[in-house]
Amino acid sequence: MITTLTNASAQIKAKAKELGFLDCGISEARFLAEEKERLLDWLQKEMHGGMHYMANNVDKRLDPRLLVDNARSVISVLLNYFPGEKQEDEQAPVLSKYAYGTDYHFVMKDKLGELLRFIQSEIAPCEGRCLVDSAPVLDRAWAARAGLGWIGKNTNLLSPEHGSFFFIGELIIDLELPAEGRTVHDHCGTCTRCIDACPTKAIVAPYVLDARLCISYQTIENHNEIDPSLKGKFENRVFGCDICQDVCPWNLKTEVHQEPAFIAHPRLLKLTKEEWTEMDKPTFNELFRNSAVKRARFEGLKRNLRYLKEET
């Protein structure tokens, strides 16, 4: 127990803010009993589609102590990616906002590494792992436990102060820190804007997303042909989808990010519909060298573009 370090949490949060994180919260590293049934039901109904990794290491997803020896605390952080600019050609295929700049995995990993080193040098010696989609972790569940928001009907974490256009990352450490005493209650109320707006009806019930119907899944995670039954429903989305976030009232006051790494390549937002359609591999490599779009690979992006062309 580190009962003598009463200001440890405040120091960590101040450092997180200095590093550019929107928010930071701390929770006790323990078994996620409440999430177990929901996760198992989702997997049993095969709503994870071809993301077979989601069915692996379920025990580790539910218990961070199996990921980090002697884990005591989970530090959750949020990093804003809401852009100040948008694509200029309104007819161009639409790229998800999170993919405008440098791949967030690199950016967040670096910042979390700095935060871990700060804790080790300024708070107390400890060991831990920096996690950004790099291990079986239920990011949103931990962020909610840390008091950073609630999981909304579109299954995204919603913050009353910051909306939902942010990335989530964690530090799991073997140092016992004072856990957050606050919980952000569900503020979705009777609102169903995200459910109503989803063109593929992927939000099959409040708080339940069938990934197989999700445009983000189909354009990024699905490595086979895109489901032909969804044709005509993509609303010109080529990589990812922001629709359920764009319509959310909690994003009305979203502020523009201040992270230089997330600024789009100068050419990217100027691409016309024709330039997207005719994109060759050298252009792809130039525009998306350090981008999350690399996950889809050039062949995957061209597949998505063909699919959109067939929709029209």
Residues annotated as catalytic (active site), given as ranges: 133
Candidates 49, 51, 41; CA nearest to 205 is: 41
Give the torsion sign (CA, 15, 19, 21, 22).
positive
| CA distance linking residue 160 with residue 140, whole number of Å | 15
Catalogue the long-range contacts made by 141-144 (C-beta closer than 8 Å, 24 or more residues apart).
141/32, 141/35, 142/27, 142/64, 142/74, 142/76, 142/168, 142/170, 143/25, 143/76, 143/78, 143/168, 144/183, 144/184
Tell me the C-alpha distance between 249 and 75, whole Å. 27
Structure tokens at 232: 């005509």
Residue 171 Cα distances to 77, 248, 264, 308, angstroms: 8, 29, 28, 39
Q: In what order do the strands lie in the sheet with 73-80?
A: 23-28, 73-80, 166-173, 128-131
- Counting beta carbons within 10 angstroms of the beta carbon of residue 95, is it exposed (0 to 12), middle (13 to 18) or buried (19 or more)? buried
